[in-house]
Chains A and B, each alone.
Chain A
Amino acid sequence: MPQDLAETVAASADQVASRLAAASYVVDEGLATAIFLAIRLGKPLLLEGTPGVGKTEAAKAVAEVLGRRLVRLQCYEGIDAAHALYEWNYQRQLLAIRQAGEHEIDIYDDRFLIARPLLQVLLAPHDSVLLVDEIDRSDHEFEALLLEFLSDFQISIPERGTLSAAAGPIVVLTSNRTRELADALRRRCVYHWIAYPDAAREAAIIMLRAGDVAQETARAVAHAVRAIRARPLAKPPGIAEAIEWANAATILEKGGSPWPEAFRRAIGVLIKDEEDMACLAPELARIVGESLA
């Protein structure tokens, strides 16, 4: 039973960490504790962090270890109830009315209801993990709607009455922190700020995620990326970029470029801003050299 799986996974914070590691997602103690608490306290988990630290991946990994389907709601400015909750399929309703002619027909049947992510989760709370992605992109109106949903886990459909979840589903919210979220929302959640991992952990992540990258390469990439993030860049590279860089450099090296050269030539997958590139160019050789040493 899925519910039992949640209980075995969330037996302790260490258990959560080892299960996630098995699903190739490396967590630090803080994040493991936060996930553990969110599951056990039945509260939504709010993950904040700069772009590219693996917030969305965390939600995917949680869904995977719990053996549940991930229902993703991507936020944007102007997202509203019709995109997040439910909608009627009006075209089908009209067709049905025409087809029925003189007969009686229930046009508010399940057939005509389009379940949007929040309703999908509500209907199957034990089989799904809800991911509300980049909530900082939505506006205050939607934040209020979400707050209402997260506090009661129910949705009112005028034609059908109120639907409520049998149990609180597992919810993960992510934010890039481009604006402050409402205090009421933060208060209701278990919170974790995902920082960039330290070099050893980042090397472990690269080893897990990249195709076939040597241990030394992963370590060198982790060190170099760490040094690069310390510079005042417009777009500091995330973990995904670091993995790509390790992959790209390995491919170039197999193609015949010697090591420092391969890193330098693959830099385009790491730094994607022309000014940042100009700012880094004079130091790049030194950074790569030091990391390889």
Chain B
Amino acid sequence: MRQPAHPPLPRAAAPFLSFGRVLRRYGFAVAPEQTQSFMAAVTLLGPRSMQDILEAALATLAPPPERRDAFLALFRSHFHGDPAALLVAANAEDDVRVKDDGDARERQAATLQERTGGALASAAEQLAVRDFAADGESAALLSIRRALATSLPVRRTFRSVRTRSRGQFDVRRSLRGIVQADGDVPRPLLRRRLSVPRKLLLLIDVSGSMKLQTTDYLTTAHAVVQSAAKAEVFAFGTRLTRITPSLRIRARGQALAHAADQVEDWDGGTRFGPTLLAFLAVPRFAAFACGAAIVILSDALERGDHAAMEMAIRRLSARAFRLSLCTPLAGDPRFRPETAALRAIVPMLDDLVDGSSIARLTDFILSLGRPAAAADAIWRRA
């Protein structure tokens, strides 16, 4: 009989140990190391009350703030045995307007994919491949996959790399070389700042008036997320939903189904201005918009007052590197930006282009890196 190296944990420790498992089941990332420090923290604190245990859990298990309510509900159900709390945990996001599960969905989906194992997974993959061959838009989507990484607008990073030619003197490293050579002056060394593709932000309108285009747009967005290093996709109608994690799943059918589950305001009304303002009110999202190429896929038909929309567009354009609006209405040759809302926002847009088909949309996205005349100038001439 082999003896265990450590004495077994006391029975009272079991609920603390299993809480980590419960959290993982609900999509929180909890490492064994964190469970360990949770138990150490509980011991340190006494614990004199349930409040101590809760505070230890919050400090060591580090739930992201937007999922804090779900975390508290799970805590109540686990340590207080309150079964109603579990329901809250499942639907915690229901009455919030901005919906962002973090990467929880993605993790769940990943484990799901792993569990389905060889046969099913490869079937899904085949399906995806077949889709590409059969679809009319396959050429457009393939071009995104192939060319997007190199055709996004670029910016110079603040981090520099060593280079052999075309650069500035790397004073620090050259001096180091001189010191090592005891004062002799060897070849000067060079350094150059890197160029990286800018961030790409897609905001997709999923309201009723865009019904015909939303599938196309999501398909394109999936291809974009798959091929760009830094892309974020949000769906908006009456509320705002971050769907990037769903679209990171590789198999297209599965990704789109996941995204569709996430969005709860399909084919409803639009609150263009208020939802975009809600987007800007989340510091993380607003920071992503800074210096990004922002493409809004919408018909920009705002019911009633468009003051909020104008304000949202102004704030977005102040942050964006390039702000574009793709509207399916522009597919019609007779289209002119003449609604009051469009007239107000056109001067703030960099592009107002046709987004009536996947092909037109991909052509435009792939041209983002090239300069173009401002939307205002183009449409005033038209």
* Contact surface of A with B, Cβ cutoff 8 Å: 13, 29-30, 33-34, 36-37, 40-41, 43, 46, 48, 50-51, 76-78, 80, 82, 87-88, 90-91, 93-94, 97-98, 107, 139, 141, 176-180, 183, 186-193, 232-234, 275
* Contact surface of B with A, Cβ cutoff 8 Å: 29, 31, 33-34, 37, 40-41, 44-45, 51-52, 55-56, 58-60, 62, 65, 68, 102, 157-160, 172, 175-176, 178-179, 182-183, 277-278, 280-281, 283-284, 286-288, 311, 314-315
Contact sample, A vs B, 14 pairs, CB 8 Å cutoff: A13-B45, A33-B45, A36-B44, A37-B41, A41-B41, A88-B176, A90-B178, A93-B179, A176-B283, A190-B41, A191-B62, A192-B58, A193-B68, A275-B315
Q: Does A90 contact B45, Cβ atoms closer than 8 Å?
A: no
CB contacts (< 8 Å) of A78 on chain B: these are 157-160
Which chain B residue has the least Cβ–Cβ distance from A136?
A: B287
- Given contacts A33-B56, A78-B157, A187-B31, list 11 more A-B pairs with CB under 8 A: A29-B55, A37-B44, A37-B45, A46-B62, A87-B172, A90-B172, A94-B183, A176-B283, A178-B284, A191-B62, A192-B59
Given A94-B183, A190-B59: A234 in contact with B159 (beta carbons within 8 A) = no
Q: Does B178 contact A30, Cβ atoms closer than 8 Å?
A: no
Given A37-B41, A78-B157, A82-B172: A190 in contact with B183 (beta carbons within 8 A) = no
Q: How far apart are the CA atoms of A139 and B158 in the complex, in Å?
A: 10
Given A30-B55, A77-B157, A193-B68: A90 in contact with B60 (beta carbons within 8 A) = no
CB contacts (< 8 Å) of A91 on chain B: these are 175
Q: Does A177 contact B176, Cβ atoms closer than 8 Å?
A: no
Q: How far apart are the CA atoms of A82 and B160 in the complex, in Å?
A: 13
Cβ-defined partner of A33 (8 Å) among B29, B55, B183 = B55
CB contacts (< 8 Å) of B179 on chain A: these are 88, 90, 93-94, 97, 107
Q: How far apart are the CA atoms of A176 and B65 in the complex, in Å?
A: 12
* Nearest CB of B to A94, in Å: 6
Which chain B residue has the least Cβ–Cβ distance from A43?
A: B37
Q: How far apart are the CA atoms of A248 and B24 in the complex, in Å?
A: 50
Q: Does A94 contact B284, Cβ atoms closer than 8 Å?
A: no
CB contacts (< 8 Å) of A90 on chain B: these are 172, 175-176, 178-179
CB contacts (< 8 Å) of A193 on chain B: these are 65, 68
Cβ-defined partner of B284 (8 Å) among A30, A82, A180 = A180
Cβ-defined partner of A139 (8 Å) among B40, B159, B182, B315 = B159
Which chain A residue has the least Cβ–Cβ distance from B278?
A: A232
Cβ-defined partner of B44 (8 Å) among A40, A50, A176 = A40
Q: Does B31 contact A37, Cβ atoms closer than 8 Å?
A: no
Q: Does B55 contact A234, Cβ atoms closer than 8 Å?
A: no
Which chain A residue has the least Cβ–Cβ distance from B179?
A: A93
Q: Does A177 contact B44, Cβ atoms closer than 8 Å?
A: no
Cβ-defined partner of B175 (8 Å) among A33, A51, A94, A141 = A94
* Nearest CB of B to A35, in Å: 9
Q: Does B34 contact A187, Cβ atoms closer than 8 Å?
A: yes
* Nearest CB of B to A188, in Å: 8
Q: Does B37 contact A177, Cβ atoms closer than 8 Å?
A: no
* Nearest CB of B to A10, in Å: 9
* Nearest CB of B to A83, in Å: 11
Which chain B residue has the least Cβ–Cβ distance from A45?
A: B59
Q: How far apart are the CA atoms of A40 and B37 in the complex, in Å?
A: 11
Q: Does B311 contact A275, Cβ atoms closer than 8 Å?
A: yes
Q: Does A37 contact B62, Cβ atoms closer than 8 Å?
A: no
Given A43-B37, A97-B179: A178 in contact with B65 (beta carbons within 8 A) = no
Q: Does B41 contact A97, Cβ atoms closer than 8 Å?
A: no
CB contacts (< 8 Å) of B65 on chain A: these are 48, 177, 193
Given A40-B44, A94-B175: A234 in contact with B280 (beta carbons within 8 A) = yes
CB contacts (< 8 Å) of A43 on chain B: these are 37
CB contacts (< 8 Å) of B34 on chain A: these are 187
CB contacts (< 8 Å) of B40 on chain A: these are 41
Q: Does A232 contact B284, Cβ atoms closer than 8 Å?
A: no
Q: How far apart are the CA atoms of A179 and B282 in the complex, in Å?
A: 11
CB contacts (< 8 Å) of B59 on chain A: these are 30, 33-34, 37, 190-192
Which chain B residue has the least Cβ–Cβ distance from A92?
A: B179
Q: Does B45 contact A178, Cβ atoms closer than 8 Å?
A: no
Which chain B residue has the least Cβ–Cβ distance from A98?
A: B183
CB contacts (< 8 Å) of B280 on chain A: these are 234
Given A78-B157, A94-B183, A97-B179: A177 in contact with B41 (beta carbons within 8 A) = no
Q: Does A94 contact B178, Cβ atoms closer than 8 Å?
A: yes
Q: Does A232 contact B60, Cβ atoms closer than 8 Å?
A: no
CB contacts (< 8 Å) of A234 on chain B: these are 280-281, 315
Q: How far apart are the CA atoms of A90 and B34 in the complex, in Å?
A: 43
* Nearest CB of B to A70, in Å: 22
Q: Does A50 contact B159, Cβ atoms closer than 8 Å?
A: no
CB contacts (< 8 Å) of B159 on chain A: these are 77-78, 80, 139, 141
CB contacts (< 8 Å) of B287 on chain A: these are 178-179
* Nearest CB of A to B316, in Å: 11
